[in-house]
Chains A and B, each alone.
Chain A
């Protein structure tokens, strides 16, 4: 046997060529496996540490309120008006007593005072009615705004979902492609290895059937 791998390994040329083919395939298999592990580690870290997606449509409904919800009725002026009417009535009655005016004048005065008080009550009622109208209008506006906000939030969720979906699908596709490629390379290398070794084993193996195969005995 001449100089070369065959004389180093021994066992015949087919064994040696099989061994060399198989060792090259084994190396490719190990490289593919290593690459797969590296890529998997890289993708795991990318997935674990990716930035949060900021939803630009965050829920602002808590900020929506009815500005007319708690309007108060301005009763201070009305009470003052009633007091003034009472004082005015008392003063006029004093004057009437001093001047000896008739009882009919006092009745007219009392009726005037009553009319004044009724007017005040009507004013309060009008204010209350106006406030109620404003409150209802405000409530309607609030509901409209809340509906709009809910719709906007829904759009935001859809946007966030879409973005996440797009990104995740992209990464998953990439992971699958990378893993698929490295697994395929690994499997191919394993097949190459088996093919190469099968030929070599055919020469070296089969000792059960041919006990004298080994060496020169």
Chain B
């Protein structure tokens, strides 16, 4: 399935689950929905009988295998099965619930969103709606869960007649595969790191702000300002202001910042932050797709019904892992831009002088004239 289709399906499922539209669906209201998937009951329906037969065979020495080795192994599997089932379902539900996070990356396979909808009994995902789920105890001792239904079908096209038709494409997850994944710190469904929270924490760590402006939680206070060390000064030690026009012929001074110095100061902290993220490359892709690729501002995202996603600049979990070096470098560059644009900019834009007299509003024409005269005097041009 191409990524656009996957994205559309994911976003559709998200909106469908979040909207209240189902309450206005007369068919849904009029007809009952059957959610009796009964995963455990169905999985263990015959297990008791099999277990009893095996036990009897062992106890009466009527095993088919030499020394009852196979029968004993099967008994062991069955004894361990309930705990394994519970752990499997626990891990699976924990993974699938990631699809409900507000910053979930819709570039993840949409079938996980559908499976979560089914497992959490969302309207529209019942047996009546054509969905089903099975937990199977497999002969090798492992277990698998199978999800089927309308969301687990793909549309194919006949190469000769060009007719389209649906084929079953169930989502099958094996417990031993899932456990192996999780034990290697790999997620089945990746949770997008909260870049906004990380960047808010990063601000006071950069050392651009005085320690007394950071509260005990490590967050910047409301009146935090970048220290004067990073403000441009004249040779005589006075502040080198930028004059801004505030209308009606009036102007005021604003601080100019030494961006080269600021960039140099924050770079190691941003590098460290990115290095931390790189401990999970899945997370990097999620952060790229949800926050970094498009470089939209937090405000822009807030104004949209759905946060901007990476669109055509997305990175695929299937084909972009492991991350190429050039992607890592690109991520770091764009991460820094995102930080500067969304978090640092407010502290370096339109900052009123700390010297009270310099902060007053003044006549713009006079100020410009005075500045020109100072320039002439400083350069012996009079």
Contacts and interface: CB of A to CB of B under 8 A. Distances in A.
A37 B89 contact: no
Contacts of B41: 10-11, 215-216
B39 A10 contact: yes
A1 interface: yes
A49 interface: yes
Given A3-B35, A9-B39, A19-B90, A213 B268 contact: no
Given A42-B276, A45-B275, A214-B45, A197 B86 contact: yes
Interface residues of A, number: 50
A26 B94 CA distance: 6
A49 B81 CA distance: 49
Contacts of A9: 37-40, 89
B155 to A, nearest CB: 27
Contact of A204 (B37, B85, B94): B85
A50 B89 CA distance: 45
A214 B134 CA distance: 16
A205 interface: yes
B16 to A, nearest CB: 18
Given A23-B93, A49-B268, A211-B52, A4 B280 contact: no
Contacts of A42: 272-273, 275-276
B45 A216 contact: yes
Contacts of A212: 48, 52
A214 B185 contact: no
B121 A23 contact: no
A49 B271 contact: yes
Contacts of B90: 19, 22-23, 26, 193, 197
B269 interface: yes
B185 A217 contact: no
A214 B38 CA distance: 12
Given A3-B33, A46-B268, A204-B40, A38 B51 contact: no
Interface in A187-217: 193, 197, 200-201, 204-205, 207-208, 211-217
Interface in B72-94: 78-79, 81-83, 85-87, 89-94
A46 B269 CA distance: 7
B321 interface: no
Contacts of A119: none
A37 B46 contact: no
B230 interface: no
Contact of B279 (A18, A20, A41, A217): A41
Contact of B185 (A37, A45, A197, A213): A37
Contacts, number: 161
A31 interface: yes
B86 A41 contact: no
A15 B86 contact: yes
Given A7-B36, A9-B40, A23 B89 contact: yes
Nearest to B268: A49
A211 B55 contact: yes
B44 interface: yes
A153 interface: no
A124 interface: no
B330 to A, nearest CB: 18
Interface in A8-31: 8-11, 15, 18-20, 22-24, 26-27, 30-31
Contacts of B70: none
Interface string B270-294: 0111011111100100000000000
B328 to A, nearest CB: 13
A27 B97 contact: yes
B97 A10 contact: no
Nearest to B54: A211
Interface string A103-139: 0000000000000000000000000000000000000
B47 interface: yes
A11 to B, nearest CB: 4
Contacts of A30: 94, 182, 187
Nearest to B45: A215
B42 interface: yes
Nearest to B41: A10
A121 B273 CA distance: 81
Contacts of A34: 185, 191, 280, 283
Contacts of B220: none
Contact of B39 (A8, A33, A37, A43): A8
B45 A10 contact: no
B156 to A, nearest CB: 30
**Considering residues A9, A31, A33, A193, which has the most beta carbons from chain B within 10 angstroms of its beta carbon?**
A9
6 contacts: A8-B39, A19-B90, A30-B94, A34-B283, A39-B276, A213-B44
A-B pairs, 6 with minimum CB distance:
A42-B276, A214-B44, A215-B45, A10-B38, A11-B40, A23-B93
Interface of A: 1, 3-5, 7-11, 15, 18-20, 22-24, 26-27, 30-31, 33-34, 37-46, 49-51, 193, 197, 200-201, 204-205, 207-208, 211-217
Interface of B: 33, 35-42, 44-49, 51-52, 55, 78-79, 81-83, 85-87, 89-94, 97-98, 118-121, 126, 133, 182, 185, 187, 191, 193, 268-269, 271-273, 275-280, 283
